[in-house]
Amino acid sequence: MHQRYTSILGVKVSAITYHQALSKIQYWIDKNEKEYVCVSNVYSVMECQKDPKLLRGVNKAGLVTPDGMPLVWLSNLYGRKAERVYGPILLDKLCRLSEKRGYKVFFLGGTEGLSKDLLKKISKIYPELKVVDCIETPVRPIPKKDNLRIIKKINSSGVQFVFVGLGCPYQERWMIDCRKKLKANVLIGVGAAFDFMSGRVGQAPTWMQRIGFEWLFRLSQDPKKLWRRYTITNLLFLFKIFSQINKDIQFKGKSLRLNP
């Protein structure tokens, strides 16, 4: 299946919709393929600028979804029509698909005590969903001994999906490093989706998400933790992306299409 993408600071962000993402993931399962999905936003793109190995690994993913609105806008600017494929919503859609098809799922990630809240909420929203396990990861990266135990448990469970909520860049590195060791069809990094689903963290109103101001809502909830991400990192991204656009305009004239 041919994949269209836009190169945003070297990260190959898939030009895709929810429908296309679900179709591609279903195709992998039908063909018993082994893939991983990275949900990408400004922060993850900037993390890739600091780590060439991370950048290479992200670009080897089956999909790199445009999780943040700036990446959607840039994809459209470069002539690649896309919609936001947001981690929490993608998680919801895949849980519903798994419930319908009888797929087994595995949840990996979250702070201490989150699994109880998450499983309670899951049982209400998806009563038929086959959840094999929900393992918290308060220490990141996951210690080697614990990781070996997790891999063994996933491989003996026969799951189709592993939802990975370790946060960026830990979840991406975990998927990159563990993909070949795991039998599960699809690994998906979903960021803070577990916190949202469990009700521990509130989500921005839809209108704020649509205009790209979700970051401001999240910053107001936890400024001590997120101020650097949403100030310094965002400013650096703007500087770098304007430089990229300027170079592309000079090189290709008025046409910004990267992948004809």
pLDDT of residue 260: 38
From first to last of the 260 residues of the chain, give the pLDDT tens digit.
457 899 999 999 999 999 999 999 999 999 999 999 999 999 999 999 999 999 999 999 999 999 999 999 999 999 998 999 999 999 999 999 999 999 999 999 988 888 999 999 999 999 999 999 999 999 999 999 999 999 999 999 999 999 999 999 999 999 999 999 999 999 999 988 998 888 777 677 787 777 777 777 777 777 777 777 778 898 999 999 999 998 888 776 544 544 43
Exposed / middle / buried, residue 222 (Cβ in 10 Å: 0-12, 13-18, 19+): exposed
Whole-angstrom distance, CA of residue 86 vs CA of residue 40: 9
Where do the domains of the chain lie? 5-245
* Residue with token string 């891999």: 151
pLDDT of residue 248: 85
pLDDT of residue 190: 95
Q: For residue 17, how many C-alpha atoms fall within 13 Å in the half-sphere facing its CB?
A: 3
pLDDT of residue 2: 55
Compute CA distances 157 → 46, 97, 153, 160, 172, whole Å. Answer: 35, 19, 6, 9, 22
pTM of this structure: 0.90
Q: For residue 25, how many C-alpha atoms fall within 13 Å in the half-sphere facing its CB?
A: 28
Identify whether the C-beta of residue 13 lies closer than 8 Å to the C-beta of residue 66. yes
pLDDT of residue 249: 82
Structure tokens at 230: 């949403």
